[in-house]
Amino acid sequence: MLAGGPGIRLKPLTDKTPKALVDVHGKPLIQWVLEWLRMNGVSRVVLGVAHLKEEIIDYLGDGSSFGIDITYSTHTVEGGTGEGFRLAINRYVNEDVFFAMNGDQITDLKLKDLADFHLQHSPVATIAMTNPHCPYGHIKFDEQNNVVEFVEKPFCPHANCSAGVYVFKKEILNFLPSKGDVERTTFPLLATRKNLKVYPFNGIFITVNTNKDLIEAEEKLKVIYG
């Protein structure tokens, strides 16, 4: 799991606080992720850290407080997700198949279902894919251009996005760049080779990239969890 980004779009919150520790409905963002992993039976995490890494390490420690064993892998901010995953996997991952993720999503995705799908099809990588809400309200109108309905931020029926949760074969090391993001390098390359699958799921998916996202996340989690 990567938690090394600078969180530029969350400034000024991330000037002195890493994105992973930004408070979301009463707890740090990464704590939501760790609790979800534990509920899905994950007991060990290799955590890639870069920006303000000392704060993350100090807060999480060895992970025992969260019921998960955490090993840290440091990388550079400039190296992106490609470097983050490559170093973490090379250093600490011995398994041939494993979960990988960006670490900034709150979801109820069932990891066993994702793993079963991946093992059935056996690509180099599988991306959990979800159907997002449109960021804008929609206006419906009739043939005379009369407004007939306002629809507030509906699901976009033709838009699908990565949930930032993956299953990788260790073979992915052959496709990870020394620097750069996997979304722009590794995944397009695997797609051309027909070695990349998507696993669609419909469920809770909340990601926090901007201050607007943070406000909306607070509202959604208050409805879901009270």
- Provide the angle, in degrees to the nearest 10, between the axes of the packed helices 29-39 and 53-60: 50
Whole-angstrom Cα Rg for the chain: 19
- Residue 173: alpha-carbon gap to chain centroid: 19
Domains of the chain: 8-130+160-225 (3.90.550.10)
Kindly report, residue by residue over 11-30, the tens digit of the pLDDT: 998 999 999 999 999 999 99
79: which residues sit within 8 A by CB, 6+ positions away? 50, 87, 178, 179, 180
Q: What is the dihedral of CA 218, 221, 225, 226, to 10 degrees?
A: 40
Kindly report, residue by residue over 100-115, the tens digit of the pLDDT: 999 899 999 999 999 9
Instruction: Give the tokens for residue 118.
Output: 């991946």
Kindly report, residue by residue over 144-168, the tens digit of the pLDDT: 876 777 776 655 666 678 999 999 9
First to last CA, the chain: 28
Distance CA 73, CA 225 (A): 32
